[in-house]
Structure 1
Amino acid sequence: MTQHVKRPYDATRRRAQARQTQRDVLRAAHDLFVEQGYGRTTIAQIAERAGVSTETIYATFKNKATLLHRTWDVTIGGDDEDVVFHERPEIMAIRAEPDLAKRFMMHARMSTATARRMTPFARSVAGAAASEPSAAEMAREMDQQRLMGMTVMASEVAATGQLRVSEEECRDVIWAMTDGHLWHQLVVERGWSDDRYAEWLGRTWVAMLL
C-alpha cells in the first residue's frame, strides 16, 4: 500500500502576497495623503485605491496613525526594507568618503533625491498638524529623525579636523537645509533642476563648513 507523505507547508508565496498587499496599501495611502491631505483621507478611501478591504488595512496597520508612520518610513527610505536610514548602503558610501568636499557634494545629491520623494508628503503632514494630533506628532518625529541622522554625519565630519565651524553648527546647518522647504522653493517654485539644486547645495556646504 502506497503511503502519501504530506509535504511541509510552504508559506513563501503567502508572505510575498502579504508584503505586496502592504506595499499597495502604503502607496495608496501616500498618494491620497499628498493629493487630498492626511485629515481628509479615510481608511475606506485607501482601501478602495489599494484594492483591498478596510478589514485588511486594520488587521495589518491597526489605525491611520500607524499607517502614517509606515508611509513615512517607506517615503524617506525609498523602499520598505527595515534598515535605519543612515545605515543604508548609499548613506554608508557617503560616510566613508575621505575627501570632505566630495562627501558634502555626495550628501547634497542624496539629499536632493530624498527631497523629491519626501517633500510632498512632508508638506501634507505639516498642513494637517494644526488639527490632527497624529500628524503633529509625525511632523515632530520627522524632524527628530533628521536631527539624529545629521548628528551622526556631523560627528564623523568633525572627527576629521577639517571643519571651520563647530560640530553643532555643522549639524544644525545641514539639518535646517534638508527639510525639503528650500528644495521646494528653488525647484518647484523657481524652476531649478534637481541637478542645479544639488550642485548649489553641495557648493554652499563646502563654502560654509570646510
Structure 2
Amino acid sequence: METTSRVGATAPATEGGQGLAADRGTVDGYLRAPFPWYGLDEAFTGPRWLMQVGMASDGAVEHGSIGHGDTPSVLHEGVSAEPREKFAAVVTVAGHPSRRVADGSGLLEATSVSSAAWLAGVGLLSFTWPGQMDHALRDDWLEQQTEAAWELADDLDGPEWSKLSLPVDGVASSFRYRESEFGWVLAGSTEAGVHLGAYGRGMSAYGLGFAVVKDISAYV
C-alpha cells in the first residue's frame, strides 16, 4: 500500500463557525489551496459550512472539511436513541507523492486514500464522547481511538471495510465504507487528483454524491 501520511493531519474543529457563515480568515485558508474542494452535490439542499483547513509543516494547505446539514453535537458512546441531528462532513485531501519540504528540512510523505480515511475517522471521533468517562480520561481514550482509526485506514482491504459506489462529479466512483456505533466513514479518490473522505450520522451515506465546490468564497 502507498505510504499514508499524518503530516498536518488534525481533526476538523469541533467549535468556531460550524453552522454559521465562515469569517474571511477561514475562507482565506481554503482559497490558498492549489486543489479543488469537494462537497455534497446539488441533490443536497440543506445548510453547508466550512470547518477547518490543515497545513503541512511548510505551510502548504493539505486538507480541509466542509460540513453539511445540522451542526453536530457530541454523541455519547452507547447511546441507542436515534441522534437528533443529521450531518455529513466531506474531507478533501491534496493528492501528491512524497516531496521535499520547501525549506529543505525534510520530506513530506505521500498522501493516499488511507490519508482521507484516517482524517474522516478522526473527524467522527471529534463528535464522540464515551459515556460515564471522566473528562481527565477522555484524552487517553481519544488517543487510543485515533490510533485505531489509523490502523483501520491503513488496511482498506481488510474486513472492517466494504465497497460502495457513489457519484463524484456525476461519474460512479469506488469508495471504502465502514460503520460504527458513532456513525459512518468512507474514503475514495477523484479524477481531479484529490482524495475524498467523508463521515456523518443520521444521514445515510448510500444516497450521497460529491461534486467540486464552484465558489468557496460564497461561504462568507
Q: Give the TM-score normalised by structure 2.
A: 0.30
Q: Rg bigger for which structure?
A: 1
TM-score (norm 1): 0.31
